[in-house]
Every structure is written in structure tokens, then in C-alpha cells.
Amino acid sequence: MAVFPIVLFLAAVLLPSLPTEAKDPSFTALLTTQTQIQKEIVNKHNELRKSVSPPASNMLKMEWNRETAANAQKWANKCTLEHSNAEDRKTSTKCGENLYMSSDPTSWSNAIQNWYEERNNFVYGVGPKSSSSVVGHYTQLVWYSSFHVGCGIAYCPNQESLKYYYVCQYCPAGNNVSKKNTPYQQGTPCASCPGNCEDGLCRHS
């Protein structure tokens, strides 16, 4: 199965194609209007956020956000396989974005794990291991202050091979250039929470 994640600011020269409703039940099972899929996405993010190394003292717990999800789905439906404009994913604040493309439908947990695997190219406090290392999916996924997540998926039959288009947006946005080498504060889990601690992650106050 071919997969192709795209990091923010990386452009792809591809012609847009309109989505269609896939008949494949394995695709329908991935639609983010379903409560169980929303829970899977949130739980996977939180599982990974609390397992970062070194540990984080100020990592906020992710929550599903309908407005963010609507923006993500709207963008997925365009089938551009490129990042959206910042204004298109804005809620009451600026939001970040991760993209994932696949030739076959795969679980949301697998797509999210794929972003997280970029940790192998990243050294906390230093940054990417090389100038060619892609780490932006990972750093957005574990950005301490991003606590709203919303995702959407589209089937894009006119694309040559990568027909399944996954989009997650995160608010507030991460990947602040001046702090990108330290996407969270290192320390004992929950030691620097702005509010309460829940299951090793900070609750947004």
C-alpha cells in the first residue's frame, strides 16, 4: 500500500479532482461523522501525546471540535492533496494541519501513527536530525497547546494512485517557528498544567 504524508508548507503540483462517495464499506467506516471514529482519533492522539520522550510537563489533552472537523472535511472534499490556506482552517484562532494520502483505505490510527513516526527524525531541543528530515507532522501532533482536533476524509477517484485523502486540523496551531525544536516543555507529566491533570495529560482550563 502506498502512503504519502505531506507536511505544512510542502507544496504538491497536482490537479484538483472532485470527491465522490466511495461504495467501499471500508471507506464509509472511516467517515468522521461517526462518534466511534471521533473517539478513535482523539484517543490515538492522546495516547501518543502522553507517551512522548522526553516526557512533557504541559501537554494538553486533545478534544474533538466540530468546527475544526467541518473545516477539515470541507478541505478534504476539494481533493487538492495540498495544504489549505491559513484562513480556510481558522476558527476563533489559527489552526495547524496534517495531511495523509493513501492508495487504499487505512485506519485513522494508522494514519496518525504514521505522522508520529517522524519522531525518529527529531531530537528534542535540537530539531530535525538533518536538513532533509520531515518532522512537521510529529511536532504538530505533540504541540503542547493544541487541544482541539477535527478531521475529515475524502475519496478522490480522479487522482492517479493516492485516492484516499485524510485531513486533521489542530487549534490553536502548533509549529511556531521560534519554538519548533521544543514542541512541549520537558518534565514530569502534568507538573506544569494550567488546570487539572487527567490520565497524564493537562485539561484545558
Band the pLDDT of 32: cuts 50, 70, 90.
Answer: very high
Task: Write the burial class of residue 36 (CB in 10 Å: 0-12 exposed, 13-18 middle, 19+ buried).
Answer: exposed
> Is pLDDT above 50 for 14?
no
For the chain, list the domains and their CATH numbers. 3-202 (3.40.33.10)
With a cut of 50, say whether residue 202 has pLDDT above it. yes
What single-letter amino acid sits at 118?
Answer: E
The DSSP element (H or E) to which 96 belongs, if any, is strand 96-102
E-strand spans in the chain?
3-6, 63-64, 96-102, 122-123, 127-128, 148-155, 164-171, 197-198, 201-202
Contact indicator for 62, 49 with CB cutoff of 8 Å:
yes
Residue with cell 494514519: 111
- What is the average per-residue pLDDT within 27-36? 97
Residue pair 142/73 in contact (Cβ under 8 Å)? The answer is no
- pLDDT digits over 56-111, tens only? 999 999 999 999 999 999 999 999 888 999 998 999 999 999 999 999 999 999 99
Residue 29 has pLDDT above 70, yes or no: yes
Give the whole-angstrom CA distance, residue 40 versus residue 44.
6
Task: Output the CA–CA distances (angstroms, integers) from residue 101 to 3, 6, 60, 65, in the order listed.
Answer: 6, 8, 27, 22
What pLDDT, on a 0 to 100 scale, did the predictor assign at position 182?
A: 98
Element of type H or E holding 127? strand 127-128
Are 122 and 192 spatial neighbours (Cβ–Cβ below 8 Å)? no
For the chain, the straight-line distance linking the first and the last C-alpha, in angstroms and rounded, comes to: 42
